[in-house]
Amino acid sequence: MDYAFEFIINNGGIDTEEDYPFNARDRRCDQYKKNAKVVTIDGYEDVPQNNEKVLQTAVANQVVSVAIEGGGRGFQFYDSVKSYPDHCS
């Protein structure tokens, strides 16, 4: 997510999907499209993995974005609401 946050900062914000709809093709950005930034950020911090105290502090003080790593075998073969690695219960 760091790359996305860096883009938002360097771009001065992001537009709405309505103003700049997603198009699943490789191409250059249209610099002449309406420039209606609706969301900006001025910084971000990464919370250390498995550090619940730091996460609680972050949630109490600002908006938090969360991501999961979906490339592992456990995620590739996901088939239910709860997914645990074999060594967890």
Q: What is the number of structural domains in the chain? A: 1
**Rounded CA separation 76/30 (Å):** 35
What is the per-residue pLDDT for 72?
80
35 or 87, which is more confident: 35
| Band (6; pLDDT cuts 50, 70, 90) | very high
Q: What does the block give as tokens for 48?
A: 């250390």
**pLDDT band for position 88 (50/70/90)?**
low
Domain that holds residue 72: 1-89
What b/e sequence results for 31-66 when a residue is b if at least 16 CB atoms lie within 10 Å of its CB, and e otherwise? Answer: eeeeeeeeeeeeeeeebeeeeeeeeeeeeeeeeeee
For 34-86, the pLDDT digits (tens) are 678 898 999 999 999 889 999 999 999 988 998 887 888 777 777 776 656 66
Q: Is 7 helix (H, G, I), strand (E, B) or coil?
A: helix
Q: Which CATH number covers residue 4?
A: 3.90.70.10
As a whole number of angstroms, the distance between CA 88 and CA 1 comes to 27
Q: What is the pLDDT of residue 32?
A: 73
